[in-house]
Amino acid sequence: MLSVPAPIESAPLRCETRPVPSPANDEILVRVSACGVCRTDLHIVEGELPLVSSPIVPGHQVVGRVERVGSDARRFRPGERVGIAWLRQTCGACDPCRTGRENLCARAAFTGYHADGGFADYAVAPERFAYAIPPVFGDAEAAPLLCAGIIGYRALKRSAVPVGGRLGIYGFGSSAHVTLQVARARGLEVFVCTRGPSHRELAGRLGAAWVGDVGDAMPVKMDGSILFAPVGDLVPLALRNLARGGTLALAGIYMTPVPSLEYERDLFYERSITSVTASTRADGEELLAEAARIPIRPETTAFPLEEANRALALLKRGGFAGSGVLLTGSGSRV
């Protein structure tokens, strides 16, 4: 549980015992088995994203089994395996919601931010925003798909790389290593810039055509690129590595300041920049189905729930490649 944001090195998350939550009429109660560790969790814990509810239980890549359902909940039965993702609730009535863009709903609520998330033994969520988990994935494998996978999937769509084209990736954490597998399965050539030796090794092992350091110029121009690293200074570099007509998708929820751009050098010839804001439930359903067909194999490093501070600290300094996942035990801890 987080009460006051602070540097992760000071271990601001604390473990305590609370009553098992009760689901509302339209909610399900989930006994959590695994919860992915996301950079968004780190942004919340360290205060780069303002705390909107305190205290709060972070975690929004939740896998577990339904323990109990609310009186109006009909989609899932007790014992079924489900996933809970970042998007928790939308108004359903605004123009974005009515036109298939619910990720832009001004009244959207998010798991582990507006309401308690999955760094716990139990979590509740509206049943309409939960996902059935394909049986091809174990719990720890499925957890990173629920944010890293979904956001990477939406970013790949926004980058608009044509069939057989070249995709550039900057930063190679949890989301990027899932996205690379989707892109390769679609026949794209993938070029990766990342700073950590273990991350570069994983990118090469997963089929990247070229792997370099963050500041390196790519050997050819990209048809589209995704910036996963929350580093604004990389935006001009990524734009210069784009082919004419290429698109750079900014996949982070938070980014350091972007330096000024030069029109002719960075943007001319119809090069574009687009951001990625959350995701829709349709993105999640599509990603899970495609990931199961491929099948995607997330590389995971497991931590017990009690080591959430350590897991986030390692994430901050690039201490593991792929995805970090917290595994729960029993009880009602947060």
Judge whether 8-148+278-327 and 149-275 match in fold.
Answer: no
CATH number of this structure's domain 8-148+278-327: 3.90.180.10
Q: Which long-range contacts (C-beta less than 8 Å, at least 24 apart) are formed by 78-83?
A: 80/132, 81/132, 81/133, 81/139, 82/28, 82/30, 82/130, 82/131, 82/132, 82/133, 83/130, 83/131, 83/132, 83/133, 83/142, 83/143, 83/145, 83/146, 83/288
pLDDT of residue 332: 43
* pLDDT reading at 73 higher than 80: yes
Inter-residue contact 137 to 294 (CB < 8 Å): no
> Average pLDDT of 28-32?
98
pLDDT of residue 329: 67
Please report, for the chain, the start and end positions of each structural domain, with discontinuous segments joined by +.
Answer: 8-148+278-327, 149-275
pLDDT of residue 295: 97
* pLDDT reading at 305 higher than 80: yes
Instruction: Report the amino acid identity of residue 50.
Output: P
* pLDDT reading at 236 higher than 50: yes
pLDDT of residue 215: 81
Place of tokens 């890293």: 148
Per the DSSP assignment, residues forming a β-bridge with 189 are 166
pTM higher than the cut 0.85: yes
> Average pLDDT of 34-52?
96
* pLDDT reading at 218 higher than 70: yes
Q: What is the pLDDT of residues 116-171, one digit of tens each?
A: 999 999 999 999 999 999 999 999 999 999 999 999 999 999 999 999 999 999 99
Residue range 149-275 in CATH 3.30.43.10: no
